[in-house]
Structure 1
Amino acid sequence: MNEPLTIYSKPGCVQCTATMRALDSAGIAYRVIDLTTDAAALDRLKSDGYLQAPVIESAGDIWTGFRPDKIEGVIRMLDETGGQA
């Protein structure tokens, strides 16, 4: 998998920007889905109970908000697996 993370984001979201900057600094690839333009993704996340952005999916884990602890966990997992999620 080239992009181990999917970030569901929206414009002007401070926590979204912080998450993407932390991932960029760590050299971690990710895919961004803009919730203001993808109604199906927004509906799915809302139906799953997620009410704030960002929502991040990573190798079976999902979390919301800027979570440096979760990002560190992704970095460790990628280091242990040689970059394979």
Structure 2
Amino acid sequence: MAITIYTKPGCFGCRKTAEKFTEARVAFTEVDITQKLAALEYVTEELGYSQAPIVVVDDDFHWSGLNPTNIAVAIKLAKEEVAS
């Protein structure tokens, strides 16, 4: 399972989202959308988001903003995958 968090510097929600995955010991990739134009284009044009963080779990489960409920679901899915 691949989890990518698209972030921007100074973003409280970005930092808290990453902290939740780190605390749960769930691996993720962090991409700074202010440094990678292709990433910014992907989250705005393809996914339609305008608020960071944007979390993408295996391309079919994604959201934007600090969302504790979706974070918990993603962590559960990641841990279930590791256990199987």
TM-score, normalization: structure 1? 0.85
Q: Which structure has the highest helix share of the two?
A: 2
Change (3 A) 1:83 1:9: farther
Q: Which residue of 1 aligns with 2:57?
A: 58
Q: Which residue of 2 aligns with 1:45?
A: 43
Q: Which stretches of structure 1, 4 residues or more, deviate above 4 A after TM superposition?
A: none
Query: What residue identity is the alignment partner of 2:43?
Result: L
RMSD between aligned residues: 1.6
| Unaligned segments of structure 1, at least 5 residues | none
Q: Which residue of 1 aligns with 2:69?
A: 69
TM-score, normalization: structure 2? 0.86
Identity %, equivalent residues: 34
| Unaligned segments of structure 2, at least 5 residues | none
Q: Is the 8 A contact 2:26 2:79 kept in 1?
A: no
2: CA distance, partners of 1:38 / 1:83: 34
Q: How many residues align?
A: 82
Q: Which residue of 1 aligns with 2:30?
A: 32
Change (3 A) 1:22 1:52: same
SS of the counterpart of 1:82? helix
